Structure formats: C-alpha cells, structure tokens
Copies of this chain bind each other. A is one copy, B any other.
Amino acid sequence: MYLTQPLHNAVRHRAAHPLTVYGDRVRSVADGAHRVGRLAAGLQALGVGPGDRVALLGANSDRYHEALLAVAWAGGIVVPLNSRWAAEEVGYAMADCAPAVVITDERLLPVVDAVRDRAGVGAVVVMSDGRPPVGAVSFEDLIAVHAPMSDVRRGGDDVLGIFYTGGTTGRSKGVMLSHDNVFTSAWGSLATGHFTTPGGRLLHAAPMFHLADFAIWIAGLLTGGTHVIVDGFTPGGVLAAIERHAVTDVLLVPTMIQALADFPDAGRYDTSSLVRLIYGGSPMPATTLAAARTMFPGAGLVQAYGMTELSPVATLLGPAEHDVPRLAASAGRAAPHAEVRIVDPAGDEVAAGSVGEVVVRGDHVMAGYWQRPEETAAALRGGWMYTGDAGYLDEDGFLFVVDRIKDMIITGGENVHSAEVENVLSQHPAVAACAVIGLPDAQWGERVHALVVPAGDAGVSAEDLRAFCRGRLAGFKIPRSVEVVASLPVSPAGKVVKRQLRQERAR
C-alpha cells in the first residue's frame, strides 16, 4: 500500500463526493486530489525529492490534510510536529530530521523563524490565507502555479513519516513509520468492525499531528469517508460540528469527553448522528464513561490502546465489552494484526494475571527511531516492541495496563503501581491532582511518596490522606510521605513528568 492509493480510488469511485469540510469550505474528492497533485509539484519545485523530510507544524485544517497527502505524493517523508511545543522543542526535532521544507501556519511562523537557520530548513510554506510574509512561500500559490505531478508512489516498507514522541523520557525521538506500518494498524482495526464507518463523516478535533487522530484519518481514507476538520478541541466547537455535519465517527481522549460532559450547553446540540466514539490514551474513568453514554446514547464506545511506535493500535475494546464493568477498565484485546504478550525482565512470557512489561509484535511495529540505532535496538528485541508499559493479561486475553514500567515502585520487595495509588488519592475530595513516585529509602529500598495539589483552600493533611488509603490499599502501598505542592510538571502530551519529580527529590 501507499498513502495516496485510497485517494486515487476515491477519484474513480466518488469524484464529486465531499472529501474535506473545514468551516464553510467543502472540497470534493476530485478537487482535493487535484490540489494534492499540484501541491506535490510545488514541494518538488522547492527541492523535495524521494526520502526528503517535510515538517508540518500547524493547527488542524483541510490544508493540513492536503499537506500530509502531498508530501507522500512527492515521495517525501512527512514529519508532523506538535503544535504546542515551545520553540526549543521544535528546534530540536527540526535539527534532528533536517527537513527540506517546513509547512506551517501564520500563528506558528515565529516559532519556525526562530529555528529555521539552526535546522537548515530550505523553504517555509505558510498554509494561512492572504499574502505570506517575506521569506515564506504561500501554500495556495504553490497549488496555483504548478501543474499536478505524477504520484511518486513510494510505499510498502518506505518510510511514510517520522513522528516525534517523548518529552517525559528525555530527548524526543523520531519514530519512523512505513506506509505498510500505518496501513497494517488501520486494516486490523477496521477488521473488527469497531473502527471508522464506511462512507462516514469523521470529525478531526484531536490534533492531526498525533498518531491517534492520524489512525482514524487513514481508516477514513480507506473507507471512503468525509473528513470534517476543526482547528482544535473546544466542547462547543465539537458539538456544533457533530450537529452541523451529521458526524458519524469521532476520536477523542477521555479528558476531552469529560470536558464535553461538563459543558453547560451540551444538551442543546443534536448529536444523534454519532455512530462511534473512539478514545485512546487511557481507559475511561467510570464517571466519564457514564457521562459519555448519557450524552451519546446511540454511539458505540471503542477504546484503542497503543503508542506511536505501534502505528498506533495494539488492542481494542469494543462497544459490547464496555457493558462489562471489569472489562471497561481494560484496554481490550489484541487487534487482529497484533500479538500482545507480557514478559518478565528476562523477556520470558509470564502467566495470565501476572504483571510484567507489555510487548507487541506485528507488521505495525515501527521501522525504528530516526538515526538512533541503539535506542531502536533497546526497544525492538526479537521482533517485539517493548512498550515500557506494565500490565497483565487476563485468561481471555484482555489487557490491563497498570503503570509505566519505570514508574513502578519496589518497596520492601513489593511492587507498587503508582497509578493504583493515584487512583485512590484522587478520590479524596480535598485532592485536585496527585502523583506518586518512588524515592530512595535506606530501609525499604524505595518508599512510596505522594505529591498532592489540594482542591480549593481547605488544605489537606498527610494523615487524612493516609487514613483515607487504609482499607482501600494494602499497607505497603500507602504513601509513607506526602508533599503538598501548588502544581505538577506536565509534558506537552498532558502527562505528569515523574522523571523530573524524582530527579528534583533525589538531589
């Protein structure tokens, strides 16, 4: 397969069908394909040849969709960067992948300008309307002045894109995914019947630079869907888009779903068109799950678990499985394209019910980290991707992720999953946010240490929290020390940076 193949088929099957909807702008398949062929020619004219990188830094839009396709059409490797990153982080990734061209929007142009010399960027293309500033090229000009080029048709094992991950684990790494990697994840996910609706209308409200949304974008291309694109997540914007465009499928993360549930005007929108709500990132808390069901009674809930290195889907939890409370807390079962095992530190498989590292095998496992053979060799062992997640499989193959391996605490010879302790602490009414880490301890090896952000001004005492944990957690899991903090350090992906918390406290 190759990324633009579904576009060629769509031109033959439904040329007049809407391909993208962005605000009031609707583009047909034929128009979209024509623009992609012209944009590819423009990129080629700017020096993009087979295997050259093209970085993409911007908010969601129909042009973002076209840029993804055009880079592949021209034979390049697309590098979708996180639009929430600071200039320093963007600069690091750009210097790492050395893009021939950067495609950005007006809002993010200053970030690109600050780093373009350091990264040796050849040209900057601006997706926004209107004349581009000096030193930049207009996206629409590229399309206007170039005739469509022939599709280069790189595909199969050729690298389709480099997706930067991390931030919580040191320097960001570029995950190389081939065309076949991402199609494998899409095919297997679709085969379950729990992914995008054939001929449906898919809402892209989650960032398109992230592989979760990219995955349903690919699935939508394969199933002849229309891509409804909003430039970012707001509760009102998402609900209005669902109503206005009769959206059938949407991918969100649990925090977005909770934000919809908390939105005062949610009941004013007709969202009955929604067939499927796909979410990823984590299992849905029971209260959020209940809110999602109330809000979208006709939509099937689908959880996808995976990571960028897995293109991204490893396991899926289908709608019916959400009806079983025990299973709703799981990440589901291996999708048909994936094999999932739990291994001990020696790499040997452990029995059902035993916690170990989640490892995954299949044609969706990344080609490797860009220019990092050592990190690639550490992550890929014997064909298995070592996810860094700690979890267990039950007797029926349902995966329960309990923690990140490196966030597990070993105290007095017992394993403590920080996530389990955090789940209990966060139920205390005086706790707004919390993080649990292991700190060096002469007696216990490590001790369980909790950092707590109090809710409101009432304050919270260590003894109150420890008392709250008793009866809810085994004694060795109860924090031996509690620290009240004003806030917790959070990565651009919204995760608490525990590495930083540990380092600060180890000094």
Nearest opposing residue in chain B for A333, CB measure: B13
Contacts of A8 in B (CB 8 A): 339
Is there a chain B Cβ closer than 8 Å to A334's Cβ?
yes
Copies of this chain, count? 2
The smallest beta-carbon distance between A197 and chain B, in angstroms, is: 8
Partner-contacting stretch, out of A60-68, A188-196, A232-240, A258-266: A188-196
A191: which of B156, B223, B334 is its contact (CB, 8 Å)?
A: B223
Nearest CB of B to A432, in Å: 39
A14 → B minimal CB distance (Å)? 7
Judged by a CB distance under 8 angstroms, whether A187 is at the interface is: yes
How far, in angstroms, from A393 to B9 measured CA to CA in the complex?
A: 12
Q: Which of B192, B363, B397 is A223 in contact with, Cβ under 8 Å?
A: B192
B residues in contact with A358, CB < 8 Å: none
B residues less than 8 Å from A12 (CB atoms): 333-334, 340, 393, 397
Q: With A and B bound together, what is the CA distance between A1 and B362 in angstroms?
A: 7
| A interface: dominant SS | mixed
A160 to B104, CA, bound (A): 46
Whether A354 sits at the interface, judged by CB under 8 Å, is no
Query: B193, A13: Cβ atoms under 8 Å?
Result: no
Q: How far is the CA of A192 from the CA of B397 in the complex (A)?
A: 27
Q: How many residues of A contact B (CB 8 A)?
A: 32
A457: Cβ under 8 A from any B Cβ: no
Judged by a CB distance under 8 angstroms, whether A396 is at the interface is yes
With A1-B363, A13-B333 as known contacts, state yes or no: A193 contacts B198, CB within 8 Å.
yes
Q: Is the CB of B192 within 8 A of A191?
A: no
Q: Is the CB of A396 within 8 A of B13?
A: yes
Interface residues of A (CB under 8 A from B): 1, 5-6, 8-9, 12-14, 156, 184, 186-188, 190-193, 198, 219, 222-223, 333-334, 336-337, 339-340, 362-363, 393, 396-397
- Contacts A187-B191, A191-B223 known; list 8 others, CB within 8 Å: A1-B184, A1-B362, A9-B397, A12-B334, A13-B333, A13-B334, A156-B363, A191-B198
Top 6 A-B pairs, shortest CB-CB distance: A187-B187, A13-B397, A12-B397, A190-B191, A222-B336, A193-B198
